[in-house]
Amino acid sequence: MYQKSLVELAADLQKGAYSSEELTRACLQRIHTHDERLNSFVTVTETQALTAAQAADAAIKAGTAGPLTGIPFAHKDIFCTNGVKTSCGSRMLDNFIAPYDATVTQKLLAAGAVMVGKTNMDEFAMGSSNETSFYGPVRNPWDETTVPGGSSGGSAAAVAARLVPVSTGTDTGGSIRQPAALCGVTGLKPTYGRVSRYGMIAFASSLDQGGPFARSAEDAAVLLGAMAGFDARDSTSVDRPVDDYVAQLNQPLQGLKIGLPKEYFGAGLDTAVGDAIAVAIEEFRKLGATVTEITLPNTHLSVPAYYVVAPAECSSNLSRFDGVRFGHRAANAQDLQDLYTRSRGEGFGSEVKRRILVGTYALSAGYYDAYYLKAQQVRHLIRDDFLQAFAQVDVIMGPTAPSVAFKLGEKADDPVSMYLSDIYTISVNLAGLPAISIPAGFSNGLPIGLQVIGNYFAEARLLNIGHRYQQVSDWHTRSPQGFE
């Protein structure tokens, strides 16, 4: 049953082909068998999962089940889960048992979904390879010597290896889309404010956004429908009804206007990736879409702007970790200053420290205008590029990442080269737009992702485009060998 989609599993549960408890046990068994190699889970919540599955079975019997009732899912370890360790991939929170549920957690559990565990991730979501996790790197199931991408690498790898049908992620600069591309799964980053950030441990608050991972756009539509919605407890949540993502999946693509930004197909793009994207675009022409070249002239400034804005906001957000109220505390502190300095020094890993240092510098007296203010101005230009593009086209397509999965350790010592692996995803966060990555081919046995960027709140259209493409392609149905 592990090869079945969420939608197929839900149908089987409804007709009693098997129970949620059986399905959940099968999932847990697969995690036990395969995850030692992948390291995609930080915590497996077996007891809670089985209790939730039994409750789901009762709901199915009582006829009160919804589309997610009894469906196992893996939850990125950035979302607070009441009574369950929420580590954010950091030693700082290795001892943190969250005392409350994030809104996303609450919504998924209320929808009857069964959480089987918390997934590994780059420390505090800072990374593009999952190598910065305190719990060690996640391995890409397509080739265990390569990275799964990051920061939501565990969530992407767990879905790719068919350990779970769906999982959650968060995306600050590409952390859903890039691992989705590198692991050959579907991942969607919603419009800023679409999914509540309450209880989602903050990295860069003006960029962070939660979203789904799934094997198909159809499954992602079901999960996003349950995750999205206004939340008064998140001050940046948008008060706007959630579209029926499933109902719009089959809309025709006749007349769809696709823009290809010339900046996304230039130097730095791996040839095999570029070729696969061109083939995918051809499919869309066959489906009735028209394709035009567009320009996003400030694209080259998006990574530099991001590496001011994100560290600045991270240095501010992570100041809450002080060894006083929760998280790691250094032993035998001499005084308060020593307590802060050593608790933070021991609790944070080197990439997190780098970003705190960059952010602190950028926000320090005399440098604010030169760095943070300048970056926010450039961010405005980047958003305007997109608004001008969307005056001509409905969606923008291009590669999700410049290459397929790279080797573990390949970029670990070179932060700037690592940062450039998010070159096509970062501008989307700066502009607050939604975008999806869908599987669109392979190079040397490693998956390639196609990114589709939409206008604000166009999640339904993106899922529709993904679904239509997945009706005429089979990249998303392929699964890595060795996980049978």
> What burial letters (b/e) apply to 173-198, b meaning 16+ CB within 10 Å?
bbbbbbbbbbbbbbbbbbbbbbbbbb
SS (H, E, C) 243-264: CCCCCCCCCCCCCCEEEEEHHH
How far apart CA 263 and CA 317 sit, in angstroms, is: 33
Residue 199 sits at φ, ψ, to 5 deg, of 80, 5
Nearer to other proteins, 11 or 357 (CB): 357
Q: In angstroms, what is the minimal distance from the CB of 124 to other proteins?
A: 14
Two tokens, residue 40: 């995609």
How far apart CA 153 and CA 122 sit, in angstroms, is: 8
Q: Which of 76, 107, 118, 189 is catalytic?
A: 76
Nearer to other proteins, 61 or 380 (CB): 380
Question: Phi-psi region for residue 162, left (φ > 0), alpha (ψ -120 to 50) or beta?
Answer: left
Q: In angstroms, what is the minimal distance from the CB of 92 to other proteins?
A: 12
Q: End-to-end CA distance of the chain, in Å?
A: 11
Nearer to other proteins, 51 or 206 (CB): 206
Nearer to other proteins, 26 or 363 (CB): 363
Q: Quickly list H helices, 16-162.
A: 20-38, 46-62, 103-110, 153-160
How far apart CA 428 and CA 434 sit, in angstroms, is: 7
Q: In angstroms, what is the minimal distance from the CB of 217 to other proteins?
A: 24
**Active-site residue 175, yes or no?**
yes
> What burial letters (b/e) apply to 225-252, b meaning 16+ CB within 10 Å?
bbbbbebeebeebbeeebbebbeebeee
Question: For the CA atoms of the chain, what is the radius of gyration?
Answer: 21
**Active-site residue 151, yes or no?**
yes
Residue 117 sits at φ, ψ, to 5 deg, of 170, 175
Nearer to other proteins, 318 or 436 (CB): 318
Q: Which of 19, 87, 155, 175 is catalytic?
A: 175
Q: In angstroms, what is the minimal distance from the CB of 354 to other proteins?
A: 6
Q: In angstroms, what is the minimal distance from the CB of 473 to other proteins?
A: 31
Residue 195 DSSP one-character state: B
Q: In angstroms, what is the minimal distance from the CB of 179 to other proteins?
A: 23
Cα 287–chain centre separation = 28
Q: Which residues pair with 291 in a beta bridge?
A: 258
Nearer to other proteins, 61 or 300 (CB): 300
Q: In angstroms, what is the minimal distance from the CB of 364 to other proteins?
A: 6
Nearer to other proteins, 18 or 326 (CB): 326
How far apart CA 210 and CA 168 sit, in angstroms, is: 7
Q: Which of 5, 19, 87, 151 is catalytic?
A: 151
Catalytic residues: 76, 151, 175
